[in-house]
Amino acid sequence: MRNAKLVTLIAGAVLSLQVHAVNLLQVYQDALVNDSIYASARANLSAGQEASVQGRAKLLPLVGLSGSHLRSSRSGTADTTTHGYTLSLSQPLFDIAAWQTYEQSKLSVAASEAAFAIVQQDLILRVAQAYFDVLAAQDTLASLQAQKSAISEQLASAKRNFEVGTATITDTHEAQARYDLATAQEFAAQSDLDIKRAALQQIIGKPAAELAVLRSGVALQTPQPAQIDPWVQSAEQQNFDVASKQLALEIAKRDITRNRAGHYPSVDLVASRSDSNQRNTLQSQGTGPTNAIGVQWAIPLFSGFAVTSQVRQAIALEDKARADLETARRTAAQNARQAYLGVNSGLAQVQALQAAEISSQSALESNRLGYQVGVRINIDVLNAQQQLYATQRDLAKARYDTLINSLRLKSAAGMLQEQDLVQINTLLTQP
């Protein structure tokens, strides 16, 4: 008896572990580890951070060591062995192109960081969207299953009433048609749920476990600040895509100067030490080490108009970068406006649908009572049931859309962080 109780307790503990649902933050942590797009961006950031090292290298000394060891022979003469080495150093003193390359490399590092920030925000949005898409698909399937169950009861009632002669065959046919339609919709909803789960699995790299759900009747917050203008201004100035395009413009400006440097002289400090020795079977000759230090300069005179063409090309690319920056600003501002209006519209929809849910529930109860006393027909009850479940489904989706739009608003304004997911995660509970 005691062993049986122990087995029951162990089985219950294992079952409780199996049904424990994962929340939004846990899914996001899985995505950080397994999402291939994020992994690619992280590697690209590491590669981009090397640009400044490579750009700075053009300003640092270049040291080289070369040498040779030769043996020659000719008929009638002794074999000759020659060996020597040269140690050289070159330090740029005046090289505008190299300096501009270094400045561009620092901007390139910042551009890589901005691109990575874009992917970070995109991952938050993709995880949240996929997560709530699964919840919405689950709600749709559960609603259809509940509606199918209610229709089944109504169908059985219609059949009983027809058998006793208190209702016509029309009530039975109407209930049967609604039941068949609900069955078909249930299959479609199940397929949609499988698709949404597969989309989430693509991000986190493994099958999604059962998900924590949004608490019933949870209160959603309005955007802070409550005016649209601060959000739009933040989007135009702090959006990471705007920042990336701003850096691209600065790089393009410096590219003009770098290409114009093709007309300018360059000056290098050079130093070298060399030694050579020649030896044959009869004698050995050596000149001894030779040291040299000085300044080397070069002035380009004519390059076939290549430099002039490159400057014109760089100016055109600067104009393009400036236009791309303006496009990014307008897009960010529009996204901020759209997300802000989406949040406020969603809050209004949630409030209206909450009232509609209460009204639909009352209407269903009234129609059921009326059907029992003979003042309502079967189709009235079926319509009331359908209206209630559709309202509940729309209410849940409005909540999800409002939460997603709140994240999109912060993303457009360049303010989206992991902490925002933490706040939404507090609204979830075990199913």
Integer Cα distance of 414 and 430 in angstroms: 32
DSSP H helical ranges for 205-305: 228-238, 240-260
Phi (first) and psi of residue 22, to 5 degrees = -90, 150
Three-state secondary-structure class, residue 300: coil
pTM for this prediction: 0.86
Give kind and range of the element (H or E) at residue 428: strand 428-429
Note if the bond before 225 is cis, omega within 30 degrees. yes
The whole-number mean pLDDT for each consecutive block of 10 residues of the chain, a chain of 431 residues, reads: 49 49 94 95 96 94 92 73 90 94 95 96 96 95 89 83 76 86 93 96 92 90 92 96 96 95 94 84 67 93 92 96 97 96 95 93 90 78 87 93 96 95 93 84
Integer Cα distance of 199 and 139 in angstroms: 17
pLDDT, residue 19, reads 57
Residue linked to tokens 């049931």: 385
23-72+83-424 CATH choice from 1.10.287.610, 1.20.1300.10, 1.20.1600.10, 3.40.50.300: 1.20.1600.10
Q: Which positions ≥6 away from 78 have C-beta within 8 Å?
A: 280, 281, 282
Residue linked to tokens 């039975």: 172
Residue linked to tokens 């219609």: 158
**Which amino acid type is present at position 287?**
T
pLDDT, residue 163, reads 79
pLDDT tens profile 49-62: 999 999 999 999 99
Q: Which positions ≥6 away from 242 have C-beta within 8 Å?
A: 235, 236, 325, 328, 329, 332, 414
Is 102 exposed, middle or buried (CB count within 10 Å of its CB: 0-12, 13-18, 19+)?
buried
pLDDT, residue 170, reads 83
pLDDT tens profile 321-336: 999 999 999 999 999 9
Provide the residue ranges of all domains of the chain, joining segments of one domain with +: 23-72+83-424
Phi (first) and psi of residue 223, to 5 degrees = -65, 145
- For residue 181 the two structure tokens come to 């339609």
pLDDT tens profile 366-419: 988 887 887 777 788 888 888 999 999 999 999 999 999 999 999 999 999 999
